[in-house]
Each structure stands twice: as structure tokens, then as C-alpha cells.
Amino acid sequence: MSSKGICILGATGTIGVNTLDVLARHPQQYHVVALSANSNVEKLAEQCLAVQPTYAVMVEVDAATQLEKRLKEKSCETKVLAGKQALETIASLPEVDYVMAAIVGAAGLLPNLAAAEAGKRVMLANKESLVMSGKLFMDAIHNNRHKGAELLPIDSEHNAIFQSMPSLINGEQHKAGVEKILLTASGGPFRTRDVSTLKDVTPEQAVAHPNWVMGQKISVDSATMMNKGLEVIEACWLFDVPEDQIQVVIHPQSMIHSMVSYNDGSVLAQLGNPDMRTPIAYALGYPERIESGVKPLDIFEVARLDFEKPDFERYSCLQLAYDAHRLGGNATIALNAANEVAVEAFLNKKIRFTDIPFVIEKALEQAPSGTSTKIGDILAQDLNSRTHAYESVKQLN
């Protein structure tokens, strides 16, 4: 088998680091063509020296200049590019076969679309691409299948669903007997905390996830369960099912990553230790399986598996996500944009933890009905919703 060329968008984040860890275990099967980061010069320089990619992209121009200087001092021949447009360039390079789409937030949309349109295997760890532009993004995958385009989910839950059901799309799920998708959630760090005290939650408490090691933004999303709300929307697009066919199940142990219920009474589940290298290795090796470095699950050590229904008073962001998907694509754009603004404001201690759903709800009220399918309209709606969200943050100060 010839070595596959890999581009990692968001190489210095948790997903990017774990991807490089898995790739290092299979040097004959994969080689790194390109890496990108926003501004973490030190980490990206370290990665470039380790894997010697052809290209490295820093979104921030000053950071790119610093990276280029560091690599030249070490006689590293990696070519450094700068700016957002360069992300699209490396995602669509002819020598790239697979793109790990791990940029957090709306910033990942354009390079991910470029990868799809160029016929790459898009290993999607950026749920916002589907939340913002579900139809546009899925159409890009379907319309470029003749070039080799395919979409494999990296989120542990969606990867588990993909493993537990036939990879049918375009409304064919009923033919496989799929009745319901059971999307598991840990419940975050405040699952048992008195709801009346959530207003006093600090950023430090919110980012302390009980099971997963993740970045700050996604950790806060897990605490509010907006992360699960975004995953509900993502699952609707990935598996072409309505939101009422997806049930969120709180599973504190995070050992069952999701389940699929069938019309014959069967429920198939994918289990494993909470380690992102498992879905990463699955997507890299698909349809084969490759070694990931993850410790095998010891059922006897786990001993018990618990399940709870989500409390929508505690997790009002989850309800907002269901509501937004029913309203249409413009609402889900507003949901995501306002959430990004609100989480950033919370992390900077400008608003309270319980203000996050308020900011999102206000943005949803301003979103027009319907679904935008042109990239310009999608980006315009995203900007408009952010503007409304910033105004709500100011009102709360």
C-alpha cells in the first residue's frame, strides 16, 4: 500500500497532537505533507522539526515570520505560509490524500470545504462546519465523490455511530432498520451540582472535564452541553436523520461512545476508553483497523455503566440546539456564532456561566427563518449573529 499524504488543520490542538501520535506508529503507511496552527509558534516548530512536513501554515502573519526564522535556524526546509487563505491551499494540495479537520470553530469551514471540493478524505473533528453549512458541506462531499471525496467523523460519538450502523446516507437509514440514534454525553463537571449555584461557576471549574482532555472552548461547551447540542445537529447531517430521531443519553463513565437502536430490538454500541486516538486511528485506517496506542478497555475495571435523561433546566443550551435545528440553517449559524462569542466572554470573565444561554437565545431571536446555501450568505449570517452576541455581552457587563 502506498504511503498516504496527510494534512493536519489545527496541528497544535488536542486532536492534532493525537493524530501525530497515531501517525508516528505507522511511518510506512502515512507521511505528513502539511501542518497548520493559529499562533502557537513554539509547538508548531517542534512538530515541524519532528515530522518535516513540506508546508506549515500560521494563520497569524507575525507568528509565521517567527516560525520561518526558527525553522531556518534549525535547517528545516519546511515552507512556511501565512494567512487564512493558505489553509485552503494546503487542504487541497494534490499530494494530500487525507485532511484532519481539527480547527476549532467557524474558522475551519472554508478549508474544510476546500478539502471536500478537492476530493480528499475529510476526517472531520470540526462540528461547526456542519452546524453552519450542513447542506452545502454534504453536497460538496457528494458532488466530489468521483474525485475521491469522503467524510469520516472524528468526534467520538459520531465515530461510534458510524461504526455501529451501515454507512448509508441520503435518507437510506430506514432501509437498514435504524430507529433511533442514542448520542451519549458525560454530563460534564456540573452534572450533580445544585442548579442554583451554577451562576457562581468559574472558568477554571468549567474547563475541568471529568473524563476527557480537551481545549478550553470545547470543555466549556461540554459543561453547558452545547457541545452535545452541536453534535445533535452534526449527526442530523452526517446520518441524514431528523432531530427527533436522536436521543441524548447522559452516561457519566464515557465508556459507551454512542449507540444505534434498530427495529428488531437490537441496540449496537461502540465502547472504549475515552481517548481520541481510537476514532482518529479508525478514520486513518478505514476500512481497515490500525493500532492506536490506546489501552484496551477493561470491563471488570469499569464494573458499572450508568445512564440518565438530560435535565433541560440544567442544560438549557441543549434545548436551544434542538430548537435551532428545527428552525433551519440560519438559526444554527446564529446558535454557533453566539455560543463562540459567549464562551469567549465567559472565559475572559466578562459574563457568568449562566449568561451563556441568554446570549445565544438573543441571537436566535434575531436570526431570519430558512437556510442559507451560499457560502457568502452563511458567512454574512455568522458575522451578523456575532454582532448581536457582542451587543448582548455588553448589556450584561
Q: Give the dihedral sign, CA 285/128/350/197.
A: negative
Look at residue 176 in the predicted model and tell me its pLDDT.
82
Flag whether pLDDT at 210 surpasses 90. no
Domain positions in the chain = 4-153
Q: Which residues pair with 9 in a beta bridge?
A: 101
Look at residue 353 in the predicted model and tell me its pLDDT.
98
| CB neighbour class for 317 (10 Å; exposed up to 12, middle 13-18, buried from 19) | buried
Flag whether pLDDT at 169 surpasses 70. no
**CB contact at 8 A, 267 and 161:** no
**CB contact at 8 A, 360 and 331:** no
pTM, to two decimals: 0.92
Say how far apart CA 278 and CA 295 lie, in whole Å.
10
Look at residue 209 in the predicted model and tell me its pLDDT.
76
Angle at 277 between CA 273 and CA 279, to 5 degrees: 85
Flag whether pLDDT at 168 surpasses 60. no
Look at residue 14 in the predicted model and tell me its pLDDT.
92
Say how far apart CA 156 and CA 256 lie, in whole Å.
10
Alpha-carbon distance values, 365 to 7, 313, 322, 343 (Å): 39, 20, 15, 19
Say how far apart CA 169 and CA 179 lie, in whole Å.
15
Look at residue 104 in the predicted model and tell me its pLDDT.
83
**How far separated are the first and last CA of the chain, in Å rounded?**
58
33 vs 216: which has the higher pLDDT: 33
According to DSSP, residue 29 is labeled T
* Mean pLDDT score of the chain: 94
Cell of 387: 454582532
Look at residue 159 in the predicted model and tell me its pLDDT.
96
User: Across the chain, which distance is largest between two alpha carbons, in Å?
Assistant: 64
CATH of 4-153 among 3.65.10.10, 3.40.50.720, 3.30.70.330, 1.25.40.20: 3.40.50.720
Cell of 42: 513554539
Say how far apart CA 63 and CA 82 lie, in whole Å.
8
What is the mean predicted confidence (pLDDT) over 44-50?
98
Alpha-carbon distance values, 247 to 71, 157, 363 (Å): 49, 12, 25
Backbone angles phi, psi at 286, to 5 degrees: -50, 135
Say how far apart CA 392 and CA 161 lie, in whole Å.
37
